[in-house]
A and B are shown apart, each in its own frame.
Chain A
Amino acid sequence: MQNSSPVADDRHHKLAPQRVLVSRKNAGRALVVLASAGFLLVLLIQILHSIGATTAGYTDWRPVLYAYLVWAIAFGIGQVMVRGERGQRALFLFPAVLFTVAVVIFPTLFGIYIASLDWNLSSFEGPHFNGLNNLIGLFHDDYYWNALRNMIFYTLAVLGEYAIAFGLALLLNAEIRARRMFRVVFLLPLMLSPVAVSWMIGKSLMEYRFGPAATLARDLGWDNPAFFAFPWVARLSIEAMDAWVSIPFIMIMLLAGLQAMPKEVLEAAKVDGASGWQSFWHVTFPLMLPVSVTVLIIRIIFKLKLADIVINVTAGGPGGATDTVSSFIYRVYRDRSNVGYGTALAMFYLLMIIAFLTVLLRLSKRWTQKVA
């Protein structure tokens, strides 16, 4: 993840040489071993119980969860005892890592397993192994590639959202009256749930016959304001709704960046006689690059998951023009219960996103370092 301030070396504390008593070390090791053994024991009992090998055990796996919790605590204490200050440092990261791993590891592994299956929930034989067939099928799936092409548009549209949000942030940062009120008002769209946005805006406000947006469009001279009947208009309409919800998020991040900018630099630019445009382009914008990159990447990640609004408002139509990868996966997975293939689609998508983000991060790192 790119960040406004890459972790610089001097930021890290030097390790103070500190001796950890040998006995304490051993006690710590013993604790970890003991806790691990206990955890494994509970796990083993439960596995044996669930495969029917023993009668001892619990009705569900909840005790394993508690055992994991106990193990995690013991592991943390053990770390400190064994590794001293190093352990204390690791302790900052451990809770989040252990939590994420615990919640994610099973679903991920199970997900990868499902992705390799031919599994339609309605099928009589149940799931059976399918090897790479899902992957091969995916390459011949027009819907998937069509959705991916649409994603390129949606992703590029983030730049437009960014431009508007930047403009708004500049406005809010100018010397204006009632600044606080404007800030609150500009933040409001963020609060609406996608379901409400789809229905109250997409299906009511932008309705062809009675929607005020359609009425306005007619007054402006568009005879036939069908927002979702023509491919490009539909795509733009969906994008407009998504932008409406998410611009506040970008705006508020950029505004924060602007307010933190050293005033002296701008003063200096003025003294040098730079025009407004010049001082923006040569001073403000470069200084805002790091925060811009961060917010853009977060926004792109969210954009790549765009689904709710599309599902509710156009169901991907007309003719797949507004379909997104996520909304297509929803149809495959939910409407058609084709969970094996649906999961394979998502896993492949995940790989593509990770590759895309890695490249993006590399590039952005180079840019931000150049200006910095």
Chain B
Amino acid sequence: MKQPEHDQHPAKRPNRRTVLKGAVSAAALGSTGGLGVLSEHALAQDNLRARILQLPGVGKGAPTDADWQKVGELCLGPTKANVKEGEFKGVELSFMGLNNQNLHNLLFRGFLRPWEAYTGAKISWIDLAQADYNPRLQQAIATGTVDFDVLEMGAPFEGDVCGKGLASEMPEWVKKQIDIDDYVDYLKPPVGTWNGKTYRVTIDGDCHNFNYRTDYFSDPTLAKAWKDAGNDGEWGVPKTWQQVQIVTKFLKGKKIKGQNAFGYLDAPKPWGGFGFYFLGSRATAYAKHPNDKAWLFDVDTMKPRINNPAWVRAIQDVIDALPSEPADQLNADPNTTGFQQFLAGIGSMIPWWGDIGQVAKASDTSVIGDLVGFDILPGSDDVYNAKTGKWEKLTDGPNHAPNCAYLGWGIYVMARVAGDERRHKAAWSAAAHLGGKDLSLWTVVYPSGFQVHRTSHSNIDEWVAAGYDKKYITSYLNSQFGSYNHPNRAVEPRIPGIFQYYSIAEDELTKIFAGQYDAQTGANNIATAWEKLTDQIGRDKQIALYKASLGV
């Protein structure tokens, strides 16, 4: 499916500056000659990166199928180095992935078409809606109906797939081809590995950052009102959750540009498990102590921490903030808060994955293009120490703990190709092509559903050359890399059935937010249900895997 033209193009309307930039790059291209095989030479490499970032080119509309194919074509170099032309003739592979929003699989189709033409392999596609993804995968595993060779999958499912021996270990040549050492730290092992074996070609990095409206926090009227209300400190972007709460309550009933002003936006409606991440983002600063890697369960017993004072405080924060949020907030899931509220100009603060920044300036839905700023998630003045059972104030200021939620998408090859050497190589070649270093630059710059995940993505000049505003993209990349590289980042446990825990929690949380239970009772209910689930899945194994996923 073609990417609709208007949609999510990071490049804004052409202006003099961007057009000039385009001209410069075009001139640079002219000197390197045609489209042929590119040498591995560093200069050519840089040219290639500059060149794909001009596809479709600034101000020339959103990428289409043709652009994806061109990018795929241009990035075939590493594949050509490892695979002879026509080597996989007659090989048929089946690829299962998401059909979200005209992203994911639709891009892969375009990227892989030139790969198919070169190698001679043929790929058939299984497209799934996001809601069907998890059940389809689980049921395929349980009934032995795994009918795909290559799989697009999120790290949280690694426990279910790699833990059951269904995935194929990554060959050494693939690691070299994709330059696996380029991944940002938090995506390096143990993420992507299982029992010491590497399985995943990472194509995405995920963590929650903090998105806010710059116009709100520089508005003189609001600043005056803030002073008049007798608040401490200057009017500005909240740095801690305590401040977020105060600002949110303060903004209720205020106006900005003639519209109702709102502060933080919570997402209380269940979202197939994904909604729990948003409570997580509120909780990590309270619950993730710098001296303790664990924050969701006790590491030795899998005893849930969801009902400890830190998490209960986060839940209570939501309860306290909801009356100051829009009236229909109870039925808002993260999709609503992100795309129908924040990007549409409602509310001033949300946590989200990097998508918001990627599309804020480009999407037609967005009316706030230049008014978004980014930061890592707010911290907390005090942090709960689960070992001592006490709240502590850290000497070096507020405790920050970015929520590395979901850990991004990756490409996995299934073990069922192992029997046939050619299929095995073909499947891995396809995965390596999609996870290629240069190709990944294109996917994180243009709308794709994927965010930065390599150190080499941090070169701001490349982004600016592609058409991003320097200040904007610096703020964005700092929030992303600042979260990934934060020493106290809260990394999601990759234990089997993790989404089952989230789903149960969402169900209980909606009752709490609807006022049926208080925060502590509700949290206790979640803890009880989680204990039951842990027993059902197998406590000892869960403990071992939890430890492995935390690297302790």
Direct contact of A and B (CB under 8 A): yes
A residues whose Cβ falls under 8 Å from a Cβ of B = 118, 120-125, 143, 207-209, 224, 226-229, 231, 234, 314-321, 331, 333-339
Which listed residue (A317, A320, A321, A333) contacts B269, Cβ 8 A?
A317
The distance in angstroms between the C-alpha atoms of A156 and B510, with both chains bound, is 26
* Chain B interface SS verdict (over half): helix
Q: How far is the CA of A124 from the CA of B164 in the complex (A)?
A: 8
CB–CB B497/A315 < 8 A? no
Look across to chain A and name the residue whose beta carbon is closest to the beta carbon of B498.
A122
Contact between B271 and A317 (Cβ–Cβ < 8 Å)? no
What's the nearest-Cβ distance from chain A to residue B485, in Å?
Answer: 31
CB-based contact A124/B537 at 8 Å: yes
* Bound: A263/B142 CA distance, A: 61
Contacts of B506 in A (CB 8 A): 315
Q: Is the CB of A209 within 8 A of B346?
A: yes
B503-A336 in contact (CB<8A): yes
Residue of B nearest to A331 (CB): B503
Chain A: which residue is nearest B501 at the CB level?
A: A336
- The CA of A315 and the CA of B272, in the complex, are separated in Å by 9
> Is A321 a contact partner of B503 (Cβ separation < 8 A)?
no
A208 contacts B160, C-beta separation under 8 Å:
no
Contact residues in A for B327 (Cβ distance below 8 Å): 208, 224, 226, 229
Contact assessment for A118 and B536 in the assembled complex, using a CB-CB cutoff below 8 Å:
yes
Q: What is the minimal beta-carbon distance from B189 to any residue of chain A, in angstroms? A: 23
B141 and A319 form a contact (CB under 8 A): no
Q: What B residues does A228 contact at CB under 8 A?
A: 328, 330-331
CB distance from B275 to the nearest CB of A (A): 9
Interfacial chain A residues near B538, Cβ < 8 Å: 123-125
As a 0/1 sequence over residues 141 to 176 of chain B, the CB contacts with chain A under 8 angstroms (1 = contact) are 110000000000000000110000000000000000
Max count, chain B CB within 10 A of own CB: residue among A123, A234, A333:
A123
Interchain CB contact under 8 A, B269 and A335: no
* Cβ–Cβ contact A314 & B269, under 8 A: yes
Of B134, B328, B511, B516, the residue contacting A335 (CB under 8 A) is: B134
B313 CB, nearest partner CB in chain A, Å: 21
Q: Which of A118, A231, A335 contacts B514 (CB 8 A)?
A: A231
Count of inter-chain pairs, beta carbons less than 8 A: 117
How far is B443's CA from A58's CA once the two chains are assembled, in angstroms?
46
Task: Check B283 for interface membership: any CB of A closer than 8 A.
Answer: no
**B389 on interface, CB distance cutoff 8 Å:** no
With contacts A229-B328, A318-B510, A319-B510 known, what are 18 further pairs, Cβ within 8 A?
A120-B537, A122-B497, A122-B537, A208-B326, A224-B327, A226-B328, A229-B331, A314-B269, A314-B331, A315-B510, A317-B268, A317-B270, A319-B511, A334-B135, A335-B503, A336-B503, A337-B134, A337-B500
Report yes or no: B499 in contact with A315, Cβ–Cβ below 8 A. Answer: no
Residues of the A chain whose Cβ atoms lie less than 8 Å from the Cβ of B500: 120, 122, 335-338
Q: Which residue of chain A lies nearest to B164 when distances are taken between CB atoms in the complex?
A: A124
A306 to B268, CA, bound (A): 23
Inside 8 A of B504's CB, which chain A residues have their CB? Answer: 336
Complex alpha-carbon distance, A124 and B159, angstroms: 10
Task: For B141, give the chain A residue with the smallest CB separation.
Answer: A121
Q: Report if A316-B328 is in contact (Cβ < 8 Å); known contacts: A331-B503, A335-B135.
A: no
Residues of chain B within 8 A (CB-CB) of A315 are: 269-272, 333, 506, 510
Checking A118, A122, A143, A229 against B330 with a beta-carbon cut-off of 8 angstroms, the contacting residue is A229
Tell me, in angstroms, the Cα distance from A45 to B503 when the chains sit together: 45
B398 interface hit (Cβ, 8 Å):
no
Contact B269 A337 (CB under 8 A): no
Q: Kindly provide the distance from the CB of B476 to the nearest chain A CB, expressed in whole angstroms.
A: 27
Q: Are B537 and A316 in contact (CB under 8 A)?
A: no
Complex CA distance for A339 and B273, rounded to whole angstroms: 17
Task: From known contacts A318-B510, A334-B135, infer whether A122 and B331 are also in contact, taking CB-CB under 8 Å.
Answer: no
B510 pairs with A337, CB closer than 8 A:
no
B: which residues have CB within 8 A of A?
134-135, 138-139, 141-142, 159-160, 268-273, 326-331, 333, 340, 344, 346, 496-497, 499-500, 503-504, 506-507, 510-511, 513-516, 533, 536-538, 541
Contacts of B159 in A (CB 8 A): 122
Closest-CB distance, A117 to chain B (whole angstroms): 11
Which of A208, A336, A338 counts the most chain B CB atoms within 10 A? A336
List A contacts of B514 (CB < 8 A).
231, 317-321
A-B pairs, 10 with minimum CB distance: A319-B514, A122-B497, A226-B328, A228-B331, A208-B328, A334-B135, A335-B503, A315-B270, A336-B500, A122-B496
Closest residue of chain B to A118 (Cβ to Cβ) is: B536
A338: B residues at CB distance < 8 A: 500, 536
In the bound complex, residues from chain A placing their C-beta under 8 Å from that of B135 are 333-335, 337
Contact present for B507 and A316 (CB under 8 Å): yes
Given contacts A120-B497, A122-B496, A334-B134, contact A318 B326 (CB under 8 A): no
Would you give 18 A-B contacts (Cβ < 8 Å), ordered by A? A121-B141, A122-B160, A124-B537, A209-B340, A224-B327, A226-B327, A226-B330, A228-B328, A229-B328, A314-B269, A315-B270, A318-B510, A319-B516, A320-B507, A321-B514, A335-B272, A336-B497, A338-B536
Q: In the docked arrangement, what's the CA distance between A338 and B159, Å?
A: 16
Q: How far is the CB of A328 from chain B (nearest CB, A)?
A: 9
Closest chain-A Cβ to B326's Cβ sits at a distance in Å of: 7
- Is the CB–CB distance between A317 and B497 below 8 Å? no
- CA–CA, A121 to B144, complex, Å? 12
Q: Closest residue to B341 on the A side, CB-wise?
A: A209
User: A231 CA to B515 CA in the complex, in Å?
Assistant: 11
A227 to B504: give the CA distance in the assembly, Å.
25
Q: Check A317 against B329 for contact (C-beta < 8 Å).
A: no
A316 CA to B330 CA in the complex, in Å?
12
Closest to A143 in B: B507
Bound complex: CA of A331 vs CA of B507, how far in Å?
A: 9
Expressed in whole angstroms, the Cα–Cα distance for A174 and B304 within the complex equals 66
Q: What CA separation (Å) do A141 and B269 show in the bound complex?
A: 21
Answer whether A316 and B510 are a contact pair too, CB < 8 Å, given A122-B138, A122-B500, A229-B331: yes
Beta-carbon nearest neighbor of A311 in chain B: B131
What is the CB-to-nearest-CB distance from A245 to chain B, in angstroms, rounded to a whole number? 20
C-alpha gap A316/B268 in the complex (Å): 12
Question: Closest residue to A231 on the B side, CB-wise?
Answer: B514
User: Judging by beta carbons under 8 Å apart, are A337 and B340 in contact?
Assistant: no
Residues of A within 8 A of B513 (CB): 318-319
A138 to B: closest C-beta gap in Å: 14
**Cα–Cα distance between A234 and B514 once the two chains are bound (Å):** 12
Output the nearest chain A residue to B496 by Cβ-Cβ distance.
Answer: A122
Q: How far is the CB of B167 from chain A (nearest CB, A)?
A: 16
From B271, B346, B497, B499, residue with most partner A Cβ within 10 Å: B497
Contact indicator B273/A335 (Cβ below 8 Å): yes
- A122 CA to B134 CA in the complex, in Å? 11
* B-side contacts of A122, CB under 8 Å: 138, 159-160, 496-497, 500, 537
Q: How far is the CB of B285 from chain A (nearest CB, A)?
A: 27
List, in ascending order, chain B residues with CB within 8 A of A226's CB: 327-328, 330-331
CA distance A314 to B346 in the complex (A): 21
B331:A234 contact, CB within 8 angstroms: yes
- A209 / chain B contacts, CB cutoff of 8 Å: 340, 344, 346
